[in-house]
Amino acid sequence: MGSFLPDSSAYEPLTVIGRGLDQLMTVNLARYRPTGEHVAIRRIDLESCTNDMVTYLQGELHVSKLFHHPSILPYKSIFIAENELWVITPFMAYGSARDLICSHFTDGMAELTIECEGKPCADFGRWTGLHVGLRSIFSLIRHGQRVRVVHDFPQYSIKVLPWLSPEVLQQNLEGYDSRSDIYSLGITACELANGHVPFKDMPPTQMLLEKLNGTVPCLLDTTTIPPEELSMKPSRSGADSGICEGPGAGGVRHSNGDHGSTSAGHPYNRTFSPHFHSFVEMCLQRDPQKRPSATTLLGHPFFKQIKRRPSEALPELLRPVTPITSYELPQSQDSSSALASLESGLGHLDVDDWDF
């Protein structure tokens, strides 16, 4: 926890940038008055929360405060303001990866960009089990002892079903462990590369059956989409139907959900490196025991293609995207004009659910 004051008067709300938790949470971009820096404030209406939800939030915040890792967005302060719970976090000026996909990279990001974003996730996975977001986190430590597996199903997880591993969805007596997070990492890699999450538009029951039957998502490129489809403009058949069985598929049925089309040829007429394909295939093994550990993944050749630290390389790789706060006018200009400019910069965001 940082040294940010647990006092609502120390924060100047600027504009609403998102909502979540069944509309009980509002997310504000704000300025921390003592230093002038931007922060995000998650304001939760406690009076409208059920007792179960309050208990759930207490547990979530307790576990989340235990983490100290560069890949985890820290909580700067947590306090009660009248009937609201305020959670203060740094403001990420580039938005989330989902924001970037929706606004700038609708057909997916470049491989090096994904490498920079994926390595911190794998590094964090060496130390704890992370399932899709801190809202769905489960500790493998029970009563001071590390347990082999857990059996809990993530609460409030309807929107994250595509990222959940087959064994989590199956809910059998065998349970699951941190290797389920490796599966989620593979799904996220496909999402960043393809511009959409696999299984996105499937009914939950069909998604469960597809995963349990061994349907494996893949990267969409010239090695996984049949050549005859690459020579045509995107249609509602073939790769667009969500199934691809290209030369790199190895006879395994691959599913990638639905994705948009472009008017200038096929959007996936590209080729990812064999290292990237190998990385995704290892993560998405149906049998969790065949998936590598996070430590093993960090030694994968996929993560050795870029020589600079992700924090140094990402701004260049994300061009022409600029930080959201760069839209703000100097404070010497009219404050209402400055706020209007900043809100314009936030206009491309379409955030309807925020996870802790």
d(CA 128, CA 206): 30
Q: pLDDT tens digits for the chain (356 residues)? A: 457 999 999 999 998 888 877 788 999 999 999 999 999 999 999 999 888 888 878 877 877 777 777 777 788 899 999 999 999 988 887 777 888 888 888 999 999 888 887 766 665 444 333 346 566 677 777 788 888 888 887 766 677 889 999 999 888 888 888 899 999 999 999 999 999 999 888 898 999 999 999 899 999 999 998 888 887 765 433 344 343 544 444 444 444 444 443 334 678 889 999 999 999 999 999 999 999 998 899 899 998 877 766 666 777 888 888 776 654 434 444 445 545 544 444 544 444 444 43
d(CA 176, CA 167): 6
Domains of the chain by residue range: 8-93+324-345, 97-315
Residue 85 backbone dihedrals phi, psi, to 5 degrees: -90, 125
Query: In this structure, what DSSP letter does residue 43 have?
Result: E
**CA triple 312-64-79, angle to 5 deg:** 105
Domain 8-93+324-345 listed as CATH 3.40.50.150:
no
pLDDT score recorded for residue 257? 46
pLDDT score recorded for residue 53? 84
Structural fold of domain 97-315: Transferase(Phosphotransferase); domain 1 (1.10.510)
Determine the number of helices (DSSP H) and then strands (DSSP E) in the chain: 11, 9
Beta-carbon contacts of residue 101 (< 8 Å; ≥ 6 apart): 108, 109, 191, 192, 195, 196
d(CA 77, CA 66): 14
pLDDT score recorded for residue 209? 92
d(CA 74, CA 356): 10
3-state secondary structure of 84: strand
Region of 96 on the Ramachandran plot (φ > 0 left; ψ -120 to 50 alpha; else beta) = beta
pLDDT score recorded for residue 189? 92
